[in-house]
Amino acid sequence: MTPAETFSALLQSAAPLLALAPMQDVTTLQFMRVVDRYGGPEVYWTEYFRVHGDSRPEKWILESITKNPTGKPVIAQMIGNDIPALVRNAKLLQQFPVAAIDLNLGCPAPIVYRKCAGGGLLREPQKIDAILGALREVVTIPFTVKTRIGFESAEEFDALLPIFARHALDLLTVHARTVKQMYRPGVRYDLIAHAAQAMKCPVLLNGNVFSAGQAKQLLAETKVRGLMIGRGAIRNPWLFDQIRAQLRGENIKLPVGRDVLNYVHELWDNEITPGVRESAQVQRMKKFTNFIGEGLGGKFLHDIRRVETTADFWRVCEEFLQHDQTMTLEPLPIAKLPSAL
């Protein structure tokens, strides 16, 4: 089967669909390779392709499609607001083995939404309507959308759903926060449940999925087709397999500290570029340890965010992870975190 056919079959299957959320400069080809060795999701999303003017799909993001090592379908995500450019890039991307074309309506980064792209488009429902209509005409494989529940307020969501419903989407992923909320508390799973009931297409739940038990509860309460997991999967790459075990009624396997340390070593081996200066390599790894540290506590985050050398990086990791105690890797309550570097 083609990737698009495989993805369509997954949407029709009975088991909940598990997906890795796209996170810019984090969920790369290299990270896909690592997380898949821990079980991984059933489907991957690319980082977003930046679409504007005469842009073409970025080669390094295309590699997560053309060099996909997982054997799982990969969905190509676009971000932008230029309709002719979006149409042109959608046609280009369909020449590659992609499972679907996805439009990003959820990125909360100010540098993105100030340009009326990503989550910024949620302020312009008519523009969204026009973009979806134009893309639906040219996308001949599954067409999906990833959105937040609004820009300023969750009250905006009810006006967005009819727009999504008009365009025969094959899947709608909903991150249950507003754009301005970023990643702060107050996730509105009730609105995702509403979307799952109101939409004809399947709906994926996205936003703060952190454990197998919680995942099972969310699936039961919201009746969604599946879950998209981002930060939780970076912190705990075992999470997808743990969720599948939970749903089968099996015992969940928890890693010990040394397992997590080995995971960090795998990330290092896959993410570090030969020839890059040491400080840049350490900074690259902090993109991952910032998430992993949510399950280790404030002291780890405080220390790891201040290292500048390879030796100090591994000294801190070994101090906290060189042990055989089991770890849930669920987010710990941290009263006051130091600023991220």
If one counts every other C-beta atom within 10 angstroms of the C-beta of residue 176, the result is 24
Res 340: pLDDT: 37
Task: Give the CATH number, domain containing residue 70.
Answer: 3.20.20.70
Is residue 95 exposed (0-12), middle (13-18) or buried (19+ Cβ within 10 Å)?
Answer: exposed
User: Could you read off the pLDDT of 311-339 as tens digits, one per residue?
Assistant: 999 999 999 999 999 999 999 875 544 44
Q: Is residue 339 part of a domain?
A: no
| Residue 194 and residue 294 share a domain | no
Helix, strand or coil for residue 307?
coil
How do residues 17-74 score in pLDDT, each as one tens digit? 999 999 999 999 999 999 999 999 999 999 999 999 989 999 999 999 999 999 999 9
Domain that holds residue 295: 257-321
Strands (DSSP E) contained in the chain are: 17-20, 43-50, 74-79, 101-105, 143-148, 171-175, 203-206, 226-229
Residues 205, 316 within the same domain? no
Q: Which two tokens stand for residue 66?
A: 């053309």
Residues 67 and 204 in one domain: yes
Token output for 32: 């896909």
Question: Is 276 in the same domain as 151?
Answer: no
233 and 262 part of one domain: no
Q: Is residue 340 part of a domain?
A: no
